[in-house]
C-alpha cells in the first residue's frame, strides 16, 4: 500500500498508510479498536477502493480491482465476525473456498475429476483444521470455536499466495487459541500471512514483523521483540494517552 | 412412490379430475418450482415468473397455426423449442437487470417484469390477437386435451419429474453450490472469487427456463393464451401456490399446486352460502384464508408442517435426521429472517 487513505463521509478511517509485505512474510497488524486495521484489510482485499493512494498485489496495481479478481489472483481472507455459508455443510463451505480460486464456477454438471480434486482438497483442509469428523454438519450447527476454525480453513483451502486473518482468535478459549497458533505456525512457509489480532501472545508468536496502528495511521513497526519492549505499544493497549 | 402413483392415476381418476386437477397441478407446480428454485437455492423471491412463462406461451402460440396472433404455421415442436429459448433469453436479460438488487427491490423489479409483459401483450394485438390467441395447435402427440387428456397429463408428469430431478442435480453441481453460497452471503462469495451478479443473472435464466416449460404446458392445456391469463392475479397465484406448498421446499411447488387446483375446482361445490360474504364464488377468499393460516402456522408451508412433524417423531425416537441442505422447517419460521428475504 502506498500512502493509502480512506474516508467515509467526514470520517477519515485510514490516512497515509504505507505498508510493504514481502512474499512469505508473517506480518501482524496491531492496534486498539478503531485504529483502522480492518479498513486496511478491506482496502487490500478490495471490499472498497481507497480514496487516496494505491494498492499493489503480487506486483500489480489493483487499486480499483474488485475483490473477486484479487481472490482469483491468490488472496484469501477471513472476517472479524465469522462470515460462513450457514445453510451449507462444512465440506461444502470448504468446497466453495477451493472452487472460488479455480475455473468452473458456472459448471452445471459434476465433472468427476474436478469434483474429486476439489473434494479431496476440502477434506484435507478439514483434517488440517480438526473438523474432519464434522464434514457433513451444517455450519449453523457448529460451535463458535469450530466456526472460527472453519473461517481459517476456508482461507487456507485454496492454497493462497496471501492469507489475511482478521482476529482469528476472537472468542476462543485458551485451549483453542493454542491450537490456532499451532495451526498458523504450521502453514506453508511460502504463503504470505497478514494477521490482525488483539491477543498479543498469538500475534507475536506467529509474526516475524509487526505494524502498529493508531487513529488510522501506522505509528510503529518492528520485530515482535521490539514491539514487546515498546512503551508506546504498552500505553496504547493499557489505555494511556498516546503522544507522538 | 408418488411418481408411480401418479403414473397409474389415469386408471384411478376420471378424465375431469385428471385434466382439471392433476394436469393443472402439474404445470402450475412447474411454474411454482421455478419460483421455489430461485428462493430456496438463490435467495431470490421473484414475481416475474408469470411474465416469463407468458413470453414462452405467446412465442409458441404466434409461431404455430392458431386463431389470432401471427399464425406462422411452424411445426409445434419447433415453436415449443423457440418459445422456451426466447423466454430463457428474456429471463437472463431480466436477471442481468435484477441481479444487483436484493430483498424488496428485487421483488419490485421482478413484479415490474410481469406487469410490463402483461401490458405489452395486452396492447400489442398483432402478437396477442384480440382477446388472445385461440385454437393453438399443440404437437400431434398431445392431440386435443379436451377430447383425450391422457397424453398431456403424461407430458406434464414427465416434465415435472425432469424439472424436479434436474433442480436436485443442479443443486449439487459447482453452479448450484455456489448459488446456495450466494444465497447465504453474497459478499463472502465475492471475497472467495465468485462473480455474484453473473451467477444470480444466470440462475434467473435457469428459473426462466423452468417457467417457460410451464408456459408451454399451459398453452397446450388450454389451447389458447391471452393477456387475461397472465395478469397480476396469476402472478400472485403462483406466489400463493409456492407459499402454500413451502417456499423453501421444492416438493412444495406441486403440493401447493395440487391444493390450489383442488380448491379452485371444488370450493364452488363445498362452499355454503352465508349472507353476502361467503358463497360458491368466493374462491379467492378461501385461498386467501388458507394462505394466511399457513403463513401464520408454518412459513415452511404444507411440506414444512410435514417435515416438522416428521422431525419431532424422529427426535422422540431415533434422534436427529440428516439435513437436506435446504433450510429446516423450524429455521424458516421467520421468513423475513431467511437470507432470501434480506
Measured distance CA(B134)–CA(B212) in Å, rounded: 19
Residue the block writes with cell 468446497: A95
Q: Is the pLDDT of residue B107 over 70?
A: yes
Are A87 and B327 inside 8 Å of each other by CB?
Answer: yes
Q: Which of A101, A106, A166 is the best substitution to test chain B (most B C-beta atoms within 10 A)?
A: A106
Measured distance CA(B278)–CA(B104) in Å, rounded: 34
| CB of B322 less than 8 A from some CB of A | yes
Measured distance CA(B153)–CA(B13) in Å, rounded: 12
Q: Is the pLDDT of residue B341 over 60?
A: no
Torsion sign (Cα): A65, A68, A72, A74: positive
Measured distance CA(B53)–CA(B209) in Å, rounded: 9
Which residues of A fall below an 8 Å CB-CB distance to B? 45, 47, 66-69, 71-72, 76-77, 79, 83-89, 92-93, 95-97, 99-101, 104-110, 114, 136, 138, 140, 154, 158
Closest C-alpha among B1, B90, B95, B89 to residue B42: B95
Note the pLDDT tens digit of each residue in A143-161: 998 999 999 999 999 999 9
> Which has the higher per-residue pLDDT, A183 or A120?
A120
Supply the ipTM of this predicted assembly. Answer: 0.91
| C-beta of residue A191 within 8 angstroms of C-beta of residue A24 | yes
Measured distance CA(B128)–CA(B70) in Å, rounded: 8
Q: What is the CA radius of gyration of chain A?
A: 18
Note the pLDDT tens digit of each residue in A99-131: 999 999 999 999 999 999 999 999 999 999 999
- The matching CATH number, chosen from 1.10.3470, 1.25.40, 1.10.357, 1.20.81, for B13-257 is 1.10.3470
Note the pLDDT tens digit of each residue in B212-262: 999 999 999 999 999 999 999 999 999 999 999 999 899 999 999 999 999
Where are the domains positioned within chain B? 13-257
Q: Is the pLDDT of residue B321 over 80?
A: no
Are B188 and A83 inside 8 Å of each other by CB?
Answer: yes
Q: How confident is the model at residue B340 (pLDDT cuts 50, 70, 90)?
A: very low
Q: Name the β-bridge partners of A193.
A: A26, A163
pLDDT of residue A242: 53
Are B180 and A47 inside 8 Å of each other by CB?
Answer: no
Which positions 186-215 of B are in contact with A (Cβ < 8 Å)? Answer: 187-196, 198-199, 202
CATH number of A1-74+160-244: 3.40.50.300
Taking CA–CA distances from B43, the nearest residue in chain A reads A87
Q: Is the pLDDT of residue A63 over 60?
A: yes
| C-beta of residue B196 within 8 angstroms of C-beta of residue B20 | no
Helices then strands (H, E): number in chain B?
A: 16, 0
Quote the cell numbers at residue B232. Answer: 397480476
Q: How confident is the model at residue B319 (pLDDT cuts 50, 70, 90)?
A: low
| C-beta of residue A172 within 8 angstroms of C-beta of residue A200 | no
Q: How confident is the model at residue A241 (pLDDT cuts 50, 70, 90)?
A: low
For A200-221, b/e burial (b = at least 16 CB within 10 A) is bebbbbbbebbbbbbbbbbbbe
All CATH 3.40.50.300 domain ranges in chain A, comma separated: 1-74+160-244
Task: Please tell me the total number of residues recorded for chain A in this structure.
Answer: 244
Taking CA–CA distances from B186, the nearest residue in chain A reads A85
Note the pLDDT tens digit of each residue in B248-277: 899 999 999 999 999 888 887 787 787 777
Which of these ranges, A28-32, A165-169, B264-268, B292-296, has the smallest mean pLDDT? B264-268
Measured distance CA(B286)–CA(B256) in Å, rounded: 14
Q: Which of B166, B178, B182, B191 is the best substitution to test chain A (most A C-beta atoms within 10 A)?
A: B191
Percent of chain A with pLDDT over 70: 97
pLDDT of residue B203: 98
| CB of B327 less than 8 A from some CB of A | yes
Q: Is the pLDDT of residue B342 over 60?
A: no
- The average pLDDT across B178-205 equals 97
Which positions 257-276 of B are in contact with A (Cβ < 8 Å)? Answer: none
Helix axes B232-245, B24-36, angle to 10 degrees: 80
pLDDT of residue B303: 92
| C-beta of residue B180 within 8 angstroms of C-beta of residue B22 | no
pLDDT of residue B131: 85
Measured distance CA(A36)–CA(A212) in Å, rounded: 10
Residue B245's CB is within 10 A of a number of other CB atoms, namely 29
- The average pLDDT across A39-47 equals 96
Q: Which of B174, B202, B328 is the best substitution to test chain A (most A C-beta atoms within 10 A)?
A: B174
Q: Is the pLDDT of residue B327 over 60?
A: no
Quote the cell numbers at residue A228. Answer: 514487546
Which of these ranges, A19-23, A68-72, B145-149, B287-291, has the smallest mean pLDDT? B287-291
Are A104 and B322 inside 8 Å of each other by CB?
Answer: no
| CB of B174 less than 8 A from some CB of A | yes
- The average pLDDT across B186-203 equals 96
Across chain A, what does the average pLDDT equal? 93
- The average pLDDT across A84-108 equals 96
Are B177 and A86 inside 8 Å of each other by CB?
Answer: no
pLDDT of residue B279: 78
- The average pLDDT across B139-161 equals 95
What is the enclosing helix (H) or strand (E) of B239? helix B232-245
Task: Provide the shortest C-alpha distance from residue A214 to chain B (in Å).
Answer: 26
Q: Using the 8-state DSSP alphabet, how is residue B273 labeled?
A: P
CA-to-CA separations, B177 to A109, A147, B250, B251, in angstroms, rounded: 11, 19, 16, 19
pLDDT of residue B335: 36
| CB of B249 less than 8 A from some CB of A | no
Q: Which of A45, A46, A48, A85 is the best substitution to test chain B (most B C-beta atoms within 10 A)?
A: A85
Q: Is the pLDDT of residue B12 over 70?
A: yes
Beta strands in chain A, from DSSP E residues, in sequence order: 2-8, 11-17, 26-30, 52-54, 56-57, 60-61, 75-77, 162-166, 192-196, 209-214, 217-222
Are A96 and B339 inside 8 Å of each other by CB?
Answer: no
- The average pLDDT across B103-122 equals 96
Closest C-alpha among A139, A93, A87 to residue B43: A87
pLDDT of residue A209: 95
- CB-nearest to B194 from A95, A105, A158 is A105
- CB-nearest to A96 from B181, B187, B326 is B181
Closest C-alpha among B331, B173, B52 to residue A140: B331
Task: Provide the shortest C-alpha distance from residue B165 to chain A (in Å).
Answer: 13
Are A105 and B199 inside 8 Å of each other by CB?
Answer: yes
Q: Is the pLDDT of residue B329 over 80?
A: no
> Which has the higher per-residue pLDDT, A198 or A72?
A72
Across chain B, what does the average pLDDT equal? 90
Q: How is B296-340 classified by DSSP, letter by letter?
A: HH-TTHHHHHHHHHHHHHHHHTT-PPPP-SSPPGGGGSSGGGSGG
- CB-nearest to A67 from B170, B175, B191 is B191
Percent of chain B with pLDDT over 90: 70
| CB of B319 less than 8 A from some CB of A | no
Amino acid at each position: 500500500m502506498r500512502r493509502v487513505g480512506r474516508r467515509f463521509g467526514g470520517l477519515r478511517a485510514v490516512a497515509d498508510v504505507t505498508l510493504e509485505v514481502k512474499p512469505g512474510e508473517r506480518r501482524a497488524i496491531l492496534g486498539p479498536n478503531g485504529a483502522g486495521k480492518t479498513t486496511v484489510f478491506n482496502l487490500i482485499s478490495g471490499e472498497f477502493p481507497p480514496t487516496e493512494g494505491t494498492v499493489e498485489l503480487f506486483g500489480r496495481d489493483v487499486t480499483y480491482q474488485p475483490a473477486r479478481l484479487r481472490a482469483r489472483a491468490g488472496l484469501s481472507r477471513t472476517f472479524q465476525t465469522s462470515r460462513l455459508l450457514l445453510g451449507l455443510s462444512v465440506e461444502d463451505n470448504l468446497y466453495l473456498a477451493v472452487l472460488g480460486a479455480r475455473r468452473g464456477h458456472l459448471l452445471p454438471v459434476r465433472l468427476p475429476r474436478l469434483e474429486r480434486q476439489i473434494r479431496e482438497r476440502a477434506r484435507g483442509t478439514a483434517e488440517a483444521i480438526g473438523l474432519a469428523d464434522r464434514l457433513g454438519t451444517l455450519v449453523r450447527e457448529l460451535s463458535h470455536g469450530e466456526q472460527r476454525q472453519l473461517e481459517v480453513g476456508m482461507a487456507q483451502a485454496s492454497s493462497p499466495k496471501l492469507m489475511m486473518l482478521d482476529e482469528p482468535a476472537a472468542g476462543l478459549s485458551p485451549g483453542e487459541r493454542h491450537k490456532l497458533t499451532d495451526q498458523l505456525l504450521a502453514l506453508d512457509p511460502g504463503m504470505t500471512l497478514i494477521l490482525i489480532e488483539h491477543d498479543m501472545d498469538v500475534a507475536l508468536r506467529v509474526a516475524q514483523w509487526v505494524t502498529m496502528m493508531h487513529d488510522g495511521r501506522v505509528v510503529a513497526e518492528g520485530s515482535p521483540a521490539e514491539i514487546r519492549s515498546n512503551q508506546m505499544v504498552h500505553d496504547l493497549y493499557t489505555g494511556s494517552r498516546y503522544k507522538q | 412412490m408418488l411418481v408411480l402413483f401418479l403414473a397409474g392415476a389415469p386408471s384411478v381418476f376420471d378424465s375431469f379430475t385428471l385434466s382439471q386437477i392433476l394436469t393443472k397441478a402439474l404445470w402450475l407446480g412447474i411454474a411454482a418450482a421455478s419460483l421455489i428454485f430461485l428462493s430456496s437455492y438463490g435467495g431470490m423471491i421473484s414475481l416475474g415468473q408469470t411474465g416469463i412463462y407468458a413470453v414462452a406461451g405467446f412465442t409458441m402460440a404466434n409461431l404455430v397455426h392458431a386463431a389470432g396472433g401471427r399464425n406462422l404455421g411452424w411445426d409445434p415442436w419447433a415453436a415449443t423449442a423457440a418459445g422456451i429459448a426466447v423466454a430463457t433469453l428474456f429471463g437472463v436479460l431480466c436477471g442481468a437487470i435484477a441481479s444487483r438488487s436484493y430483498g424488496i427491490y428485487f421483488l419490485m423489479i421482478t413484479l415490474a417484469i410481469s406487469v410490463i409483459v402483461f401490458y405489452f401483450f395486452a396492447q400489442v394485438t398483432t402478437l396477442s390477437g384480440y382477446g388472445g390467441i385461440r385454437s393453438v395447435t399443440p404437437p400431434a402427440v398431445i392431440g386435443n386435451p379436451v377430447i383425450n387428456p391422457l397424453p398431456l397429463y403424461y407430458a406434464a408428469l414427465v416434465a415435472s419429474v425432469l424439472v424436479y430431478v434436474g433442480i436436485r442435480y443442479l443443486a449439487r453441481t459447482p453452479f448450484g453450490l455456489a448459488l446456495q453460497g450466494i444465497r447465504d452471503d453474497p459478499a463472502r462469495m465475492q471475497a472467495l472469487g465468485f462473480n455474484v451478479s453473473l451467477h444470480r443473472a444466470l440462475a434467473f435464466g435457469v428459473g426462466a427456463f423452468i417457467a417457460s416449460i410451464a408456459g408451454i404446458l399451459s398453452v397446450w392445456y388450454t389451447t389458447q393464451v391471452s393477456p387475461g391469463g397472465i395478469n397480476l392475479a396469476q402472478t400472485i397465484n403462483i406466489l400463493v401456490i409456492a407459499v402454500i406448498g413451502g417456499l423453501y421446499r421444492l416438493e412444495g411447488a406441486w403440493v401447493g399446486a395440487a391444493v390450489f387446483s383442488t380448491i379452485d375446482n371444488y370450493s364452488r361445490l363445498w362452499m355454503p352460502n352465508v349472507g353476502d360474504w361467503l358463497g360458491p364464488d368466493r374462491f379467492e377468499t378461501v385461498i386467501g384464508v388458507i394462505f394466511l393460516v399457513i403463513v401464520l402456522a408454518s412459513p415452511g408451508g404444507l411440506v414444512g408442517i410435514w417435515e416438522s412433524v416428521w422431525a419431532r417423531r424422529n427426535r422422540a425416537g431415533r434422534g436427529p435426521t440428516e439435513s437436506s441442505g435446504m433450510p429446516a422447517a423450524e429455521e424458516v419460521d421467520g421468513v423475513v429472517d431467511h437470507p432470501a428475504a434480506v
